[in-house]
Amino acid sequence: MKKLSAILTFFVALSYSLVLAQTPVATLTGRVIDAKTGQALPFATVYINNSSRGTNADENGVYRLTNNYPSGE
């Protein structure tokens, strides 16, 4: 019975780690420009509304936002 319990514990732990490893990887990239002039907006703040995820554009208005955040955020 102890052997069966140990095997079940192992598979439950393995299943849990596999679920956590399934977090999709995504990257959002783009360039922020002024709608009227078409000029880049350097150092603009880019964020996903209603979240804590965001980044700043570089001097050319280019940004890169990845999901390298803990799960559930």
Q: Which domain holds residue 60?
A: 25-67
Q: How much is the average pLDDT of 7-30? A: 62
- Does residue 5 belong to any structural domain of this protein? no
SS (H, E, C) the chain: CHHHHHHHHHHHHHHHHHHHCCCCCCEEEEECECCCCCCECCCCEEECCCCCCEEECCCCCEEEEECCCCCCC
- Does residue 14 belong to any structural domain of this protein? no
> Structure pTM?
0.59
- Does residue 12 belong to any structural domain of this protein? no
Q: Would you state the pLDDT for residue 14? A: 46
- Does residue 49 belong to any structural domain of this protein? yes
Q: What total of structural domains would you count in the chain?
A: 1
- Does residue 61 belong to any structural domain of this protein? yes
pLDDT digits (tens, 9 = 90+) for 37-64: 999 999 999 988 888 889 999 999 999 9
